[in-house]
Amino acid sequence: MTLPEQLMRSQPATDLLAPVTCTASFDPPQIGPGEKSIYRITFNAPEISIRRPEPIPAPSPLNLHWRASGQNLQIIGNVAQTFSTFNYEAVPTLPGSFTLPEFNVEVYGKPVTVPAATLVVKSQRTEPAELARQLVVEPAANRVFVGEPLNVSVRLQATPAHGVEGVSQLQLNGDGFVTDKSAARQSIQTLKKNGVPLPAFVYETRITPITAGTIKLSAQGYTAGMQFSGPVVISGQVSLSSGPPQYLLLDSEPVTIEVLPLPTGNELPGFNGAIGHFSCDPPLLATNRLAVGDPVQLTVIFRGSPNLDRLHPPLPPRTPEWQIFPATPGGSVAAAGTNPPGALFHYTLIPLSYAPRATPAIPFSCFDPALGCYLDLTIPPVPVTLPAANAGSDVDTAQLLAEDVPGSSQSPGWSRLAATPGPRSALLGPLQFHPWFWFVQGLPVLGFIGLGMWERRRRRWEQHPEWRRRREARRALRRARRVLERAADDADFLRGAVSALQIACAPHYSATPGALVCGDILQLLPAAEREGEPGETVRRIFAAADSAAFAANKGTRSNILAEKVRLKKILANLEERL
Amino acid sequence: MTLAIKKLLTLVALLMGTPALGTAGADLFRDGVESYEAGRYESAAHSFQASLDKHVFAGTLLNLGLAEWQQGHTGEAIAAWEQSAWLNPFDPGARINLSQARERAGLDPLELTRCERTSTWLPPGLWAGMATLSLWLAVAMVTLPEFFRRRKAGWHQTLSALALGLFLLSLAPNIGVLTRANTGILTEKNTSLRRTPTPSAEVVATLAAGESCRRLRERGDYWLVHTRRGNGWIERQQAQLLRLE
């Protein structure tokens, strides 16, 4: 079993199954006209399960007003039970006996009967008057500024019937303030009431108003006998009674506190809500000799008001020459001589350049409620030194320049002034950034592709020489036909015609065109054409050519130009076969 | 690298393109030198800058850096010397000045990768030319004998292997040139390194003039840069790239 389980099991069980019962009574049960009595209803059930009885069916002219409610845990036997109490105030002005009849209150959704209770109001009493017990709230001031800490004491005076006893579960009721529970103290003191010294339980705490306006502050708590929730300081002669505590829910009359807003328009720089009377000791720097980039700690001590623990150090300013980290709390500083206690904060500063000669001032201010004005608490600059050897600022550069003159032949460590402009690159940026660089890279690629294609064609022709012959024959035939077109006389026509016919037929014989004769040409013509008009035309052309070349009478006119049209048709047919 | 090789490479670099300075450019350069020697550094810087506007020479950049340094313009001086060294890595003047200036200003040198360090041995154009020539020489030595029906000789294959090796060796420097082209020098004092590319963005760090940066991205008038203090955005005119455009 783990320790938490052991602790849980060692606690008494909470009894939630017991039947709900209720008690009701007036405290005190007998008062005079105009005096106050508290009508107190108590259930043995959690408060959340009870629908608060409102209004109370009180007999006229008795009026009951709700004051406070609360719940506490009481150990009965070996079980713990939750008791909830509702306090109502009754201030009858007429004498009489007032009995509140029984009425039902819904608990856990079921009706629970509240027993009848009687209040006797007597105009003349024989026995000593007993007043209703209640707490007394006493603020240190009734007029404060927003954010100004205010001490509040809650007192429970001992009465002749009840000795001094502690108050548990004490809480302050009201809106518009926060309670500083860490500042709570409790004590038993002897206070004079109507000139008679009486012991009293005093609970002191501190509240901070957070809104301007009026605060209605009241307190409530349970009487706890001699059981104190925390240390208690007892001063004077006080007799403490023993015995089990009687848990009674007590409350106080509300007190009014006027909360003033802070004056606006004349706030000082660095005001972050600090309210009180503070002072700032001279800041301490860990070292005044700094280097760029090296952190240094600045220690600041603020002294003054008791609420130092709630003091927030000012945020450092932003400056291009420093990197400043927000302050970290460094603990408290004890009072020394006339100096009040203080709070210590550490700032970490890093110089970012060589220019600064002092730490930056850190603006800070507070509002002094006593003076009603803002006080300047700016953390002053602290002189620093950045070694000149590391200086890189223009100021330091200027100082260094006085030592030597770069560019002159006498200054060691520096180059001489260039006497000529020196070399330059034709291209100022990387070549790869210029588009033409990649274009130039493409030129060799194109060259190699061209070479490859040329080689490929060459190999193809080597494998198929007839392709080349036919291709060349086609080219030559085109040229011969152009010559034929230009032929003006028979001799030119005959030379061109024979040459064209030989060129068109030569690839079919793998022969030189000039070696072909008329019979070779006719062999390539279809049989019908060979015996027909085309064959006759070819024969006539070759015969005329032979006659022109070998006949004795060369001047004979053969009118061969008339065959031009038919020759064109023959050449066209032969070209198609190439 | 021996002096002879350096001289040879310088000659090659010169042959790659050394246009005439021109009368006006030469006059401006001479004016700058005279002004500098007379102690009129601002006038000298103007003359050198005007000369550079006509033609960019490594020596002019070297002198411009000296004139800027004399005026206390650390960033501009370092940028000019870096550019001079970019153009002519064989001139020790720019390197000496850079080393001296950075030591005095407490600045760190450029953070270069291995490829980038190799690329500083030669001018960028020479690396590109070397890669181009060696690649196509290797291809030509392999293919041309076949095209021209010549028997492949031993020297063909040797030359091809050598050219291919040279090409492979020049790949890394060429990559270094491309990446080094995006490095720059901050020329403005107290440059704000911002978280986003807007004037009102949070300042991550403040950088001194002369610090180096590496441009990662560009958006509008802002550059996303990598610096020793981390990444952030700076305004375009607050830095100067090493590559001359």
Q: Which among A424, A428, A458 is the top mutation candidate for probing chain B, defined by the most B β-carbons within 10 Å of its own β-carbon?
A: A424
Structure letter (DSSP) for residue B120? T
- Option in A401, A406, A426 nearest B17 (CB): A426
CB A119 within 8 A of CB A92: yes
Return all residues near B222 (Cβ < 8 A) that are at least 6 apart: B194, B197, B233, B234, B235, B236
Q: Which of A275, A136, A277, A278 is closest to A208 using CA atoms?
A: A275
> Any idea what DSSP says for residue A261?
P
Tell me the nearest-neighbour CA distance from A219 into chain B, angstroms: 49
Question: Using CA atoms, how far apart are residues A496 and B227, in angstroms rounded to an integer?
Answer: 85
Topology of domain B183-241 in CATH is SH3 type barrels. (2.30.30)
CATH 1.25.40.10 is the classification of domain B17-105: yes
- Closest partner CB to B244 (pick from A407, A413, A429): A429
**Residues A391, A392, A398, A400: what is their CA dihedral angle, to the nearest 10 degrees?**
50
Q: What is the CATH number of domain A11-121?
A: 2.60.40
What mean pLDDT comes out for the span B13-25? 53
How far, in Å, CA of B206 to CA of B229, rounded? 9
Which of helix, strand or coil describes residue A387?
A: coil
CATH class of A136-260: mainly beta
Q: Which residues contact A323 (CB under 8 A, 6 or more apart)?
A: A349, A350, A352, B205
Mean predicted confidence (pLDDT) in B152-156: 91
Q: Do the Cβ atoms of A430 and B60 come within 8 Å? A: no
CA distances from A195 to A133, A239, A282 (A): 19, 19, 50
Question: CA angle B33-B99-B245, nearest 5°?
Answer: 60
Q: Which residues of A touch B181 (CB under 8 A)?
A: 429-430, 433
pLDDT at res. A389 = 40
Which chain B residues are Cβ-neighbours of A424 within 8 angstroms? 17-19, 55-58, 87-88
Residue B71: band (very low, low, confident or very high) from pLDDT cuts 50, 70, 90: confident
If you count residue pairs, one on A and one on B, with CB atoms under 8 Å apart, how many are there?
177
A74: which 2 tokens? 């009481």
Coil, helix or strand at residue A537? helix
Report angle CA B85, B91, B97 to the nearest 5 degrees. Answer: 65
**Nearest Cα to B104, choosing from A144, A260, A411, A2?**
A411
Mean pLDDT to the nearest integer, B50-75:
89
**Sign of the dihedral through C-alpha A532, A533, A539, A543:** positive
DSSP state of B148: T
Please state at what angle helix B23-37 crosses helix B41-54, rounded to 10 degrees: 160
Q: Which of B59, B143, B243 sits opposite A429 (nearest CB)?
A: B243
Name beta bridge partners: A30: A120
Tokens of A108: 């856990």
Asked if A451's CB is within 8 angstroms of B62's CB, the reply is: no
A81 touches A73 (CB < 8 A): yes
- A440 vs B136: CA distance, rounded Å: 11
**Of A24, A25, A31, whose CA–CA distance to A96 is shortest?**
A31
Structure tokens at A573: 């047919």
Asked if domains A11-121 and A136-260 share a fold, the reply is yes
What's the burial of A353, exposed, middle or buried (CB within 10 Å: 0-12/13-18/19+)?
Answer: buried
The pair of three-digit structure tokens given for residue A57, joined into one six-digit string = 């069916």
Instruction: Report how far residue A486's alpha carbon sits from residue A475's, in angstroms, rounded to the nearest whole number.
Output: 17
CA distance linking residue A500 with residue A473, whole number of Å: 9
| Ranges of each domain in chain B | 17-105, 116-180, 183-241
Q: How much of chain B exceeds pLDDT 70, in percent?
A: 89
Q: Which DSSP symbol is given to A511?
A: S
> Rounded to whole angstroms, how far apart are CA atoms B15 and A186?
97
Question: Using CA atoms, how far apart are residues A494 and A558, in angstroms rounded to an integer?
Answer: 11
Digits of tens for pLDDT over chain A (578 positions)? Answer: 677 777 777 777 777 778 899 999 998 888 888 888 999 999 999 999 998 877 888 887 788 888 899 999 888 877 888 999 999 999 888 888 889 889 999 998 899 999 999 998 888 766 666 778 889 999 999 999 998 889 999 999 887 666 788 888 899 999 999 998 888 899 998 887 777 788 889 999 999 999 999 999 999 999 888 888 788 888 877 777 777 788 899 999 999 999 999 988 888 888 888 888 888 888 999 888 888 778 899 999 998 877 787 788 899 988 878 889 999 988 888 887 778 888 999 999 988 877 788 899 999 999 988 888 898 999 999 988 876 444 444 444 444 444 445 555 445 678 888 888 876 665 667 888 888 888 988 999 999 999 999 999 989 888 988 888 888 899 999 998 888 888 878 888 888 899 999 999 998 888 888 889 999 999 888 888 888 888 999 998 998 888 887 876 655 556 777 788 888 889 988 888 88
SS3 B31: helix
Query: If you search the block for the tokens 């609360």, which residue do you land on?
Result: A70
Which CATH code, of 1.10.3470, 2.60.40, 2.70.98, 2.40.30, is assigned to A271-388? Answer: 2.60.40
Strand-pair category, B222-227 with B212-219: antiparallel
Ramachandran sector of residue B181 (left: φ over 0; alpha: ψ -120 to 50; beta: rest): alpha
Residue A446, judged by CB atoms within 10 A of its CB (0-12, 13-18, 19+), counts as: exposed
Instruction: State the Cα–Cα distance between residues A282 and A381, nearest whole angstrom.
Output: 10
| Residue of A434, A426, A432 lying closest to B15 (CA atoms) | A426
Which of B99, B108, B206 has the most A C-beta neighbours within 10 Å, making it the best mutation to test the interface with A? B206
Query: In this complex, do A394 and B74 lie within 8 Å of one another by their Cβ atoms?
Result: yes
Tens of pLDDT, residue by residue over A493-547, are 888 899 999 999 998 888 888 889 999 999 888 888 888 888 999 998 998 888 8
Q: Give A-chain residues touching B24 at CB under 8 angstroms.
A: none
Indicate the residue type of A448.
Answer: F
Question: Which residues from chain B sit within 8 angstroms of residue A429, using beta carbons?
Answer: 124, 181, 243-245
Identity of the amino acid at B85: A
**Domain ranges (residues) in chain A:** 11-121, 136-260, 271-388, 465-576
Cβ <8 Å between A424 and B105: no
CB A149 within 8 A of CB A189: no
- A-chain CB neighbours of B10 within 8 Å are 423
Question: pLDDT at residue B127 above 70?
Answer: yes
Distances A315 to A106, A354, A360 between C-alpha atoms, Å: 55, 23, 12
Q: Does this chain's domain B17-105 share its CATH topology with B183-241?
A: no
Q: What is the pLDDT of residue A552?
A: 66
* Both tokens assigned to A531: 């015996």
Q: Of B89, B13, B76, which Cα lies nearest the Cα of B49?
A: B76
Q: Are B39 and A402 in contact (CB under 8 A)?
A: no
Instruction: Tell me what ipTM this predicted complex has.
Output: 0.76
DSSP class per residue in A118-158: EEEE-SS-SSPP-PPP-BEEEES-SEEETT--EEEEEEEE-
User: In this predicted structure, which of A412-416, A432-436, B118-122, B183-187 has the lowest mean pLDDT?
Assistant: A412-416
- Rounded CA gap, B174 and A432, in Å? 9
Give the DSSP letter of residue A250: E
In which element (H, E) is residue B45 found? helix B41-54
Q: Which of A483, A532, A533, A524 is nearest to A506 (CA)?
A: A524
Measured between beta carbons, the chain A residues lying within 8 angstroms of B136 are 444
pLDDT at A410: 45
